Each structure stands twice: as structure tokens, then as C-alpha cells.
């Protein structure tokens, strides 16, 4: 009897922890456009180094309890997004790219992984992710040379008539690092 009570408690705590872990793996992002005057000064200075006199739009982003700032701009025909924490420290720079611009081996590895999740899928967005390791000039050089750290994909899957989305983070070799569910959008019926 004593052991069954302990066993029950262990199972109950394990279930509670797994539910909490699942809730943190859901992406429910909300972006709100803000004026430059509401952006911390260190962010504006860093964006100036990255954007090089381009028109920048600033956003405040919430994802669950997490708050961050983003500066978005276009450069060389690509859309850029630089994300900062609330204190103004650069977290990453993402560059939106087309699937055809990726290396063939990388595309094959990603497609194979997506096939293992569902037989029907569609990539909605691909972003190369660059992490700041040293200076802004080094980060700019990595972007120019396209030596990205990760690829972030938004993918729509269809299984048993149900459509769902995931945000998938792959490393530069095509191995899956992270997967999060994305909140459903009302026009799913148009995708397939």
C-alpha cells in the first residue's frame, strides 16, 4: 500500500511536468508595431550597424511570458529581422530565403525529416538564423558569406484531414534541434 501511494505520486508529478513542458513548446507570437522612440537606445545603435541606412520598422514581440524587440528591414532583396531582449542585447538575426537557395544536400536532409513527421507538408517560411558570437562586423561578414548557424522553418502539415503548423529549428547540416507547435490560423483550408 505504501509503495502504491508513492508510485501514484511519482506518476502525478511526471504528468504535471510533461504538461508544463508541452505548454512551453507552443509558439503563440504576437507582434505589435512600435515607434522608434519606444525602442531602447542600444537596439537603435546596433540596428544602424546592421541595416546600413535602410528603412527599419520596429516591433515589440510577445511569445508567452517572453518579451523582445525586433527591427525589420530589407537589404539586397531579402527580409531581415534582428531580435533583441528587453535590455537591448542582440539575440539573433534572421534572413528570409527561398528553398531553392539552400544547398541540395541540406534540402534533402530537411525533406526527409519532414516526411518522417507527415506525408503531406508545405514549407511556409525559411529563415537563416545568425547568432552573434563576437562583433557586429563579424556577424555582417557571416551574413554576407551565408555561413548561418541554424535554419528556422514554419511548416504546415496535414494528417488525417487535420492541418497543423510547427516551427522547426535545424542546424546548418540539416539535423532537427527544436520543434514547437504554432497556433492555428483560420485560413488553413486554403493550403492543401
> Can you list the pairs that 73-81 forms with residues at least 24 positions away whose Cβ atoms lie under 8 Å?
73/47, 75/51, 80/50, 80/51, 81/127
On whether residue 12 sits in a domain, the answer given is no
Instruction: Report which DSSP code applies to 190.
Output: G
The better pLDDT of the pair 16, 101 is held by: 101
Mean pLDDT for the chain overall: 85
Greater model confidence, 59 or 76? 59
Is residue 173 in some structural domain?
Answer: yes
Q: What stretch of H or E contains 123?
A: strand 120-130
Q: How far apart are CA 83 and CA 90, in angstroms?
A: 6
Residue 21 pLDDT grade (very low, low, confident, very high; cuts 50, 70, 90) = very low
pLDDT in tens, 35-72: 999 999 999 999 999 998 789 999 999 888 889 999 99
Any domain includes 2:
no
Predicted confidence at residue 2, as pLDDT, reads: 52
Which residues are paired to 68 by β-bridges?
61
3 domain-assigned = no
Predicted pLDDT of residue 5: 46
**CATH code of the domain in which 176 resides:** 3.10.450.360
**In this prediction, what percent of the chain has a pLDDT beyond 90?**
69
* Cβ-count burial 120-146 (b if 16+ within 10 Å, e if not): ebebeebbbbbebeeeeeebeebbeee
Asked, for residue 1, whether it belongs to a domain, the answer is: no
pLDDT at 117 over 70: yes
Is the pLDDT score of 4 beyond 60?
no
- Residue 70 CA to residue 78 CA, distance in Å, equals 16
Q: Is residue 51 within 8 Å of residue 25, measured between CB atoms?
A: no
What's the alpha-carbon Rg for the chain, to the nearest Å? 20
Cα 71 from Cα 58, distance rounded (Å): 5
Are β-strands 90-97 and 78-84 bridged in parallel, bridged antiparallel, or unpaired? antiparallel
- Ranges 28-32, 97-101, 176-180: which has the least confidence: 28-32
CA–CA separation, 175 and 187 (whole Å) = 30
In a domain, 8, yes or no: no
Question: How large a percentage of the chain has pLDDT more than 70?
Answer: 83
Tell me how many domains the chain contains.
1
Identify the helix (H) or strand (E) that includes residue 109.
helix 104-117
pLDDT band at 3 (very low <50, low <70, confident <90, very high): low
Neighbours of 57 (CB within 10 A): 13
The verdict on residue 115 lying in a domain is yes
Structural domain for 78, as ranges: 26-190
Amino acid 12: pLDDT: 46
- 63 alpha-carbon distance from chain centroid: 11
Average pLDDT rounded to a whole number, residues 20-47: 81
Would you say residue 147 lies in a domain? Answer: yes
**pLDDT tens digits, one per residue of 125-182:** 999 999 998 889 999 999 999 999 999 999 999 999 999 999 999 999 999 999 999 8
pLDDT for residue 183? 79
156 grid coordinates? 504546415
Q: 191, 180, 187: which is closest to 66 by C-alpha? A: 180
Amino acid at each position: 500500500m505504501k509503495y502504491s501511494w508513492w508510485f501514484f505520486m511519482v506518476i502525478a508529478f511526471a504528468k504535471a511536468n510533461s504538461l508544463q513542458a508541452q505548454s512551453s513548446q507552443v509558439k503563440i507570437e504576437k507582434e505589435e508595431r512600435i515607434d522608434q522612440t519606444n525602442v531602447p537606445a542600444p537596439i537603435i545603435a546596433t540596428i544602424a550597424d546592421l541595416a546600413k541606412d535602410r528603412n527599419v520598422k520596429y516591433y515589440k514581440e510577445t511569445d508567452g511570458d517572453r518579451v523582445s524587440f525586433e527591427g525589420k528591414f530589407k537589404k539586397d532583396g531579402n527580409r531581415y529581422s534582428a531580435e533583441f531582449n528587453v535590455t537591448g542585447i542582440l539575440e539573433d538575426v534572421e534572413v528570409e530565403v527561398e528553398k531553392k537557395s539552400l544547398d541540395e544536400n541540406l534540402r534533402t536532409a530537411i525533406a526527409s525529416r519532414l516526411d518522417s513527421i507527415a506525408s503531406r507538408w508545405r514549407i511556409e517560411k525559411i529563415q537563416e538564423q545568425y547568432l552573434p558570437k563576437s562583433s557586429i562586423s563579424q556577424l555582417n561578414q557571416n551574413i554576407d558569406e551565408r555561413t548561418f548557424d541554424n535554419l528556422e522553418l514554419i511548416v504546415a502539415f496535414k494528417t488525417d484531414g487535420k492541418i497543423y503548423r510547427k516551427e522547426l529549428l535545424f542546424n546548418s547540416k540539416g539535423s532537427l534541434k527544436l520543434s514547437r507547435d504554432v497556433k492555428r490560423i483560420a485560413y488553413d483550408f486554403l493550403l492543401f
